Amino acid sequence: MNKKVVVILLVVLVAVAGFFAYNTFFGPETQVGEKEVTLKIVVESEGIDKTYTINTDQELLYDLMLEVEDKIQAEFDMQDFGPMLVGLEGYQADMTKEYFHIKINGADAMVGVKDTPVIDGDTYEFIVTTF
């Protein structure tokens, strides 16, 4: 075989192995199986304060939100870094001055919806916040 072909195959193999290693050791730790979680949506300026109890087997918050998209009227804008939550309950945030702040059990989320694991019993709050 040509040396270039061998080098290219090795690079591809290392990249694939690196991807799997990253997901295994550094990706979000998820919980498999049926879960019951609470979604709370607050848009104070519009008088929206809704709470949903949802049973799901989804492992990530983004997938859960897509599963109940019709109920919560979730809207996302795909960015280079992943999906950005821009709308809930028919309200679309003005991205020039506000965003949906995410809290998990009252604490600020450290990552976005795509990387947030769904854990049985947790409460996920989405609060429109200005910056």
Alpha carbon distance 113, 101 (integer Å): 11
Q: What is the pLDDT of residues 32-57, one digit of tens each?
A: 789 999 999 999 999 999 999 999 99
Check pLDDT > 70 for residue 31: no
- Domain assignments of the chain as residue spans, ordered by start: 1-30, 35-130
Q: What is the pLDDT of residues 114-131, one digit of tens each?
A: 999 999 999 999 999 998
Q: What is the pTM assigned to this prediction?
A: 0.77
Q: Which amino acid is at 55?
A: N
DSSP 117: B
How many Å is the Cα radius of gyration of the chain? 19
In 3-119, DSSP assigns E strands to: 35-43, 48-56, 75-79, 82-88, 91-92, 98-104, 107-108
35-130 under CATH 2.170.130.30, yes or no? yes
Q: What is the pLDDT of residues 51-74, one digit of tens each?
A: 999 999 999 999 999 999 999 999
